Structure 1
Amino acid sequence: MQNILLQQGMDLMIYGMGTVLVFLTLLVIATVIMSRFVTRFFPDPIVAEPLRSAPQAGRDVALDPAIRSAIEKAIELHRARR
């Protein structure tokens, strides 16, 4: 009697885990297919941004003194936490 009950429990467990495995596999496949469909037929529009001249290395960029002091204070607080 005990062996039959244990066998039925194992069968139910394997059936349930197999069902979940099949469902998750199908879900992953469906997600990949939908992702490819969307990227193929609805690509992101390419927006041309105006070129900005980047500040050169070693050159001080003029900052508002209030912003500069806020940045320095934030750096001090960050280093104090370590």
Structure 2
Amino acid sequence: MQETSLLNEGLGLMALGMGFVFVFLTVLVVTTTLMSRIIGRYFPEPVAPIAASRRGPVVGPAQDETLMAVLGAAVHRYRQNHRR
């Protein structure tokens, strides 16, 4: 009889503790969500000004072919020196 009442008391204490944790976490989530909405509404992030686009020099077709040839040679040489 004593073991049964001790087990019931333990289960009741466990349910009370789990209920308290559940309520606390629910309140924490609701509070965090509300704070996020309030901050977003009254203190919005400033809009960044659009910077003028910087364009590099225009590359012609001849320069493009030369660049590709140089890059290909560099990759070929790297692969020759770093074989497994």
Q: TM-score range by the shorter chain?
A: 0.5 to 0.7
Match of 2:70?
none
**TM-score, normalised via structure 2 length:** 0.62
Identical positions, percent: 41
Please list every run of 5 or more consecutive structure 1 residues that lacks an aligned counterpart in the other structure.
61-71
Counterpart in 2 of 1:25? Answer: 26
Q: Which has the higher contact order (CA 8 A, sep 6+)?
A: 1
Matched with 1:4 is: 5
* Equivalent position amino acid for 1:26 in 2: V
Q: 47, 53, 56: which one pairs with 2:55? A: 53
Offset at residue 53 of structure 1 (A): 3.4
- The verdict on how the C-alpha distance between 1:55 and 1:13 changes in structure 2, with shifts beyond 3 A counting, is farther
CA distance in 1, matches of 2:49, 2:9: 64
The 3 A distance-change label for structure 1 pair 55 and 46 is farther
Q: Which runs of 5+ in 2 are unaligned?
A: 59-63, 68-77
Q: Which residue in 2 is equivalent to 1:38?
A: 39
Q: Normalising by structure 1, what TM-score? A: 0.63
> Structure 1 or 2: larger helix share?
2
Question: What CA distance in whole angstroms lies between the structure 1 residues aligned with 2:18 and 2:56?
Answer: 56
What is aligned with 1:14?
A: 15
The 1-side partners of 2:22 and 2:9 are apart by 20
